[in-house]
Amino acid sequence: MTQVENHEFSKLKQDEVAIVMVPFPSQGHLNQLLQLSCLISSYHLPIYYVGLATHNHQARIRAKALNPSNIAKIHFHDLPNPELIASSNLEKVRDVSMLLRDPIASFIRDISSKVRRVVVVHDPMMSYNVQDVSSLPNAESYIFNCISVFSCYIMMCLFLKISGQHEEELLKKLYSFEGVTTDEAMDLSDSQHPYMDIRSGDIHNTSKVIESKYIDLMEQAEISLNKKQWAIGPILPTKLDYISNRENICLDWLNKQPPRSVLYVSFGTINSFSDRQIKELAMGLEQSKQRFILVLRDADRRDIFKGEARKVELPEGFEERVKEVGLVVREWAPQPEILAHLSTGGFMSHCDWNSCLESIIMGV
């Protein structure tokens, strides 16, 4: 442990409850646990955000929409970046999971010896990493789900074989899941299930106003094993007071556009499109003559996993032809701020839960 970390631990009081956050290394997941960390830090509880140094750095520099005073209260504990050899990003995540268990367990043991109680809040895809919490008498863990409760419940019905009249009727109404996710993603998810039983409950970034029915069904499901369910979202601030003076190419461009005139187009940080799909999308935007911001996110995987990222090919001359009405962004874009901007009038997305919530919160 470094001298800085010892200094941080020296501030802890024996009668305190310390919170340890363990996020999954994908931008939307990093964001949501950091938002939750800020919310909890406002209650003056010590928060430790634990992850690879690369991911912690990325989470911090992209948290411009959050209250700086709350961010300042969070202790970012950097784990060493392991050397990985894998053929895909998900294989790298799986390999990281196998390598981070020991350093995470060591950190939690250290902090548990200095406080009255430790609460570990982790992504379900990091369940393997936090399994040693069960060996500590003054520690407990909770899963924080970054997807909707509806999605959680459907996956439980489909893949964990929950059965009942309601479940059977519900599944009949769904489209096929074939092709929706990859075998790698399913293998990663399956590898975490044996370690989820140690949790004390589930925290959801949702609201009973939005998902009351499925929150109730989750509580009743046999697989929940009487685990308490909390719906505490949406956790992103509804008013972004911390960005009004911030410089950013997207925000600067939006400042010059009429109110509610811009279509924001972004498909998340881990989705990949073929060159043909990108060209079709670009041609559609150009022919629509609609004002737009188009975010090409292949660069984001490079940031997260330190791998090579291909350059997305747009139709020849596209950016020059649309420069009066469109902006193409190849680096990270501040999505909450863009959605909150008065010039943004629509959002074309892959509809992951984080994007859906941000769209709802910002009224787009």
Q: How many CB atoms lie within 10 A of CB 79?
A: 19
Share of the chain above pLDDT 70, in %: 82
Backbone angles phi, psi at 88, to 5 degrees: -150, 165
On whether both 47 and 104 belong to a single domain, the answer is: yes
Query: What does pTM read for this prediction?
Result: 0.86
On whether both 189 and 158 belong to a single domain, the answer is: yes
The pLDDT assigned to 91 comes to 62
Higher pLDDT, 94 or 88: 94
**Set 55, 75, 123, 132: catalytic member:** 123
Confidence of residue 287 (pLDDT cuts 50, 70, 90): very high
Out of 115-124, 126-135, 247-256, 286-295, least confident range: 247-256
74 found inside a domain? yes
Range of the domain at 115: 3-231
Model confidence over 316-349: pLDDT tens digits? 999 999 999 999 998 888 898 999 999 999 999 9
The pLDDT assigned to 364 comes to 94
User: Which residue type does 230 have?
Assistant: W
242 found inside a domain? no
Q: Do β-strands 262-265 and 228-231 pair in parallel, antiparallel, or remain unpaired? A: unpaired
* pLDDT of 262 higher than 60: yes
Count of the separate structural domains present in the chain = 2
The pLDDT assigned to 285 comes to 97
* pLDDT of 160 higher than 80: no
On whether both 67 and 141 belong to a single domain, the answer is: yes
Out of 40-49, 87-96, 196-205, least confident range: 87-96
Chain center to CA of 11? 29
On whether both 23 and 148 belong to a single domain, the answer is: yes
243 found inside a domain? no
240 found inside a domain? no
* pLDDT of 307 higher than 70: no
Q: How far apart are CA 192 and CA 211, in angstroms?
A: 25
The pLDDT assigned to 87 comes to 46
Tell me if 327 sits within 8 A of 294, measured CB to CB. yes
Residue 239 vs residues 6, 250, 341, 355: alpha-carbon distances, Å: 36, 19, 11, 16
* pLDDT of 239 higher than 70: no
41 found inside a domain? yes
Model confidence over 130-145: pLDDT tens digits? 999 999 999 999 999 9
First to last CA, the chain: 46
On whether both 222 and 92 belong to a single domain, the answer is: yes
Buried/exposed 222-252: b ≥16 CB within 10 Å, e otherwise: eebeebebebebbbbbeebebbeeeebebbe
262 found inside a domain? yes
Share of the chain above pLDDT 90, in %: 49
239 found inside a domain? no
User: Which residue type does 28 have?
Assistant: G
238 found inside a domain? no
Domain end (from 231, 260, 277): 231
Question: What is the average pLDDT score of the chain?
Answer: 84
On whether both 135 and 179 belong to a single domain, the answer is: yes
On whether both 109 and 69 belong to a single domain, the answer is: yes
* pLDDT of 33 higher than 70: yes
Confidence of residue 305 (pLDDT cuts 50, 70, 90): very low
The pLDDT assigned to 45 comes to 92
On whether both 71 and 128 belong to a single domain, the answer is: yes
Confidence of residue 89 (pLDDT cuts 50, 70, 90): low
On whether both 64 and 189 belong to a single domain, the answer is: yes
Q: How far apart are CA 181 and CA 354, in angstroms?
A: 17
User: Does 102 participate in catalysis according to the annotation?
Assistant: no
Tell me if 49 sits within 8 A of 75, measured CB to CB. yes
User: Does 7 participate in catalysis according to the annotation?
Assistant: no
On whether both 225 and 326 belong to a single domain, the answer is: no
On whether both 146 and 89 belong to a single domain, the answer is: yes
Q: The dihedral of CA 101, 107, 110, 115: what is its sign? A: negative
Domain end (from 204, 231, 258): 231
Closest CA to 356 of 210, 239, 257, 247: 210
On whether both 332 and 214 belong to a single domain, the answer is: no
Q: What's the rounded mean pLDDT across residues 61-68? A: 75
- Residue 258, domain CATH: 3.40.50.2000
Higher pLDDT, 89 or 159: 159
Higher pLDDT, 205 or 10: 205
